[in-house]
């Protein structure tokens, strides 16, 4: 088993032992990159859907420009609901 300050990380079909701090930093950067990509895709989707509706002569979707709550906002909501 790896030492306490190391983590086994799978890259493709290989396992590599890396320091936990470096592994955590890599995962956080990956998550930030994925979150940014998801947000960009959502923005592009809104534009494309609006263009589609416009081309079909339909009214713009109501409430379609809403943004999802962040994880922090959801935690606060859950705390409030739990009392």
Model pLDDT, residue 18:
92
In the chain, the number of structural domains is 1
- Identify the CA nearest to 66 among candidates 44, 42, 48: 42
Calpha distance 27→24 (Å, rounded): 5
Tell whether 73 is covered by a domain: yes
Domain that holds residue 25: 6-82
- Within a domain: residue 22? yes
Phi, psi (deg, nearest 5) at residue 67: -110, 145
pLDDT digits (tens, 9 = 90+) for 43-69: 898 889 889 999 999 888 777 777 778
Report yes or no on 1 lying in a domain.
Answer: no
Q: Is the pTM of this model over 0.75?
A: no
Q: What is the mean pLDDT of the chain?
A: 88
């Amino acid at each position: 088993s790896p030492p306490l300050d190391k983590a086994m990380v799978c890259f493709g079909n290989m396992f590599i032992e890396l320091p936990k701090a470096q592994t955590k930093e890599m995962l956080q950067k990956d998550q930030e990159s994925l979150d940014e990509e998801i947000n960009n895709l959502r923005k592009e989707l809104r534009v494309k859907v609006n263009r589609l509706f416009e081309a079909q002569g339909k009214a713009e979707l109501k409430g379609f420009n809403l943004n999802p709550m962040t994880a922090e906002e959801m935690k606060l909501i859950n705390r409030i609901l739990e009392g």
